[in-house]
Structures are given as structure tokens and as C-alpha cells.
Amino acid sequence: MLHRLRSSRLFWLLILILVAVSLGVLMRAEFGRLGATARTGAGWRQTPAVLEIATLVLREGLECVLVLAAVTAGLEGARRVYRSSIGAGVGMGFAATLLTWRVAALIVEDIGKNSSALAVQAGTGLLAIVVLLLVMNWFFHKLYWTGWISLHSQKKQRLLRGGENGGGSIGISLGMASLGFTSFYREGFEVVLFLQSYRLRFGNTVVLHGVILGTFASGIVALLTYITHRRLPYRRMLIATGLMLTFVLLVMVGEEAQEMQLAGWLPATEIPALAKCIPSWMGFWLSVIPTAESLCAQALAGLLVLGSYLLATARPPGGSAAAS
């Protein structure tokens, strides 16, 4: 009972720290940089951008924590030494993510030298939407949990059985490091691709604030999972972040449609009746633009996310055993 009480106090203490750091990061992002310019239209858009980035990083962090929890499960006693190999693989995945960020930024900058700014921004925005649709594809992630996590668990078991049958410990350590690397780098690669659009729009500082905030929140989850061994409501957390990312997706689709129209990639068919009804703040904050192309794109994105969720949660005719 005392252990549960201490764990509960630690949980709420970490939550309070997370809230305090979040507020600090947001205030720094909003008011700490360039003073007066932070109060312009672009400046006030920075706070939602920080939250959007943090939400995606948190979502990818949750997935990484779940995969690593499956990989490290059962590594107790004499096998506990292999956890350091997994940690080293995670470190290499982090380094590879930073390198990928640099390469992606150089590629985007090189493309920008030969293309207009609107075209580059529209192209990176389209890439971010593709990544977000992949992240928000609930049916894909249902296969992801049963496939990707299962694959890592099976590889771990093969490595351990090989060690028990006389295999070298160096080979096991290298195999465990590769599991840690792929568990982290897969999520990091998606984040890097997603962030290129935000980097062009808001600069590196806003991106850094969002990444720090999302990474800190993911670190809290990892700490509670691996150190305090708490069973967190991961499914509810994934659904909650999924709902937030759905909102982000709809805003991004609206912004992307407008940018593609400005770049001449998409026609703009204005709807006069809606133009009189939609207030200007909805266009600024929610990217609800009264054009047929923009609204249809947002509706299609919403239907794709909803359809994938319904498909993933639908129970097969075989009953609960088949569903499980």
C-alpha cells in the first residue's frame, strides 16, 4: 500500500513538472523571441505550431516506448546486461535521426534554390500530410502492433535462444542493439520528414521548442514505464493523441490546400455563401477556407482517419477470440 502511495505521489509530481515545463516552453516560444514580432499574426501562430509538433513527437514517443517495452520484457537476472545494448542501439538511433534531420534540411534547401518558396513550402507541406496520414491510419497501426512489435519480440527470443545454445554474447549484444536502433529510428525518421514543413514556416526555434516539449512528455511516459513499472493506459493515450493529431491534420490540410492554390498547383473555386458565413478567425486558426477544394480535402482527410479507426476497431464475425 505504501509503495502504491509513493508511486501515485511520484506520478502526480511528474505530471506537475510536465505542466510547468510545458508552460515555460510555450511562454518562451511565444514571448521570449523577438519581443514585438511575437505579437504579429505569424507570432501568435507559433504557440499552436509548438503544440502540434509536441503532439506528434509525443505520439511517436508512445509508440517507441511500447516497442521498447516489448523488447526489454523478460530481460532480468543474467539477461539484464542486454538492456544496456538496447540502450546503446537507442542512442545510435537518436544520432541517426539527427543526421537524417541534417540531410533532409540540406535537400530541402537545395531544392529551394531552384524552385519558388511557395512551391517548396507546398511540397514539404504535402510530405508532412502524407506522414501524418500514415501516423493516423489506425488500421495500419493495428497491423503495426501485431507485426512490428511481434517481429522485434521474436527476434529477441531467437537471439536469447542462440545464446543459450552456445552463441556468442557479442552477437547477442549486437542483435539487441539493432532492435533498439530500429525501434527508435523508425519513429525518428517519420518525425524528421514531418518537421520539414514547420521548419520552413516558423524556423528552427519553434521546431526545437515543440520537439523539447514532446520529448519531455515522452520521457515522463518512459520513466513511469521502465523505472516505476506502472501500467499506463496506453490505448487511451494513443486515442487521445490521435484525436489531437486529427485536429492538426485538418488544419494542415487546409493550409496545404491554400498553399497549393497560391503556388498554382490547385484551382481555387470560392463558395460565396460560405465566405459570408465563415468568420476570419476560423481561416486564421483552423485554416477553414471557403473554397471547394480546401473543404473537400479536409473532409476527405477526416473520412480517411475515421474510416481507418472504424475498420481497426470492428470486431470480426468470429467473436471475441478472433478479435483478440
Distance CA 163, CA 150 (A): 20
Q: What is the pLDDT of residue 319?
A: 41
Cell representation of residue 73 = 520484457
Give the CA distances from residue 6 to residues 2, 10, 230, in Å, rounded to whole numbers and listed in that order: 6, 6, 12
Q: What is the pLDDT of residue 283?
A: 73
Q: What are phi and psi of 130, to 5 degrees?
A: -60, -45
Give the CA distances from residue 96 to residues 31, 36, 91, 101, 131, in Å, rounded to whole numbers and listed in that order: 32, 37, 9, 9, 19
Burial class (CB in 10 A: 0-12, 13-18, 19+), 273: exposed
Q: What is the pLDDT of residue 144?
A: 58
Name residues of the chain where pLDDT drops below 70: 1-45, 77-78, 138-148, 162-169, 228-230, 315-324
Distance CA 271, CA 260 (A): 18
Q: Residue 203: how many CA atoms within 13 Å on its side-chain side?
A: 10
Q: What is the pLDDT of residue 32?
A: 41
Q: What is the pLDDT of residue 207?
A: 92
Q: What is the pLDDT of residue 195?
A: 92
